[in-house]
Amino acid sequence: MSDDSQIHIPPSFEAVHRDARGRLTLPRDDFRARYELCEDMAQMLVEPCQARLHDQGLSEDLVLERTEAGLAADGSGFSAAEATWVVTRLAELLGWPHAGLTPPPPRPH
């Protein structure tokens, strides 16, 4: 079977859908579709989360926590692991600290 996809799926997302033996837990086409959905959701949430931070005066942590809770809720269409991945990716896009991200190295003075 040929894999002609141009989409690079990061290892962090692959880990969400691999079993203990490293095998994908869903068909490859479904896996790609889930990745695209999760990446699109992270991209789409950037502006609303920035607005919550500035307009409502919420902390970055609280914005991310509430976003993850919403994504992980029953009926959202996302698994808990996908919700965590989306919020981690969102934090990366926003440049906000998050437990799932490696902190940037200190800047030299």
User: Do 100 and 81 contact (CB within 8 A), yes or no?
Assistant: no
23-40 per-position pLDDT tens digit: 999 999 999 999 999 999
What is the CA 25 to chain-centroid distance, rounded? Answer: 18
User: Do 71 and 78 contact (CB within 8 A), yes or no?
Assistant: yes
Burial class from Cβ neighbours inside 10 Å (0-12, 13-18, 19+) for residue 32 reads: middle
Centre a 10 Å sphere on the Cβ of residue 31 and count the other Cβ atoms it contains: 18
39-94 per-position pLDDT tens digit: 999 999 999 999 999 999 899 999 999 999 999 999 999 999 999 999 999 999 99
How many CA within 13 A on the CB side of residue 46?
Answer: 10
Sequence spans of domains, the chain: 11-94
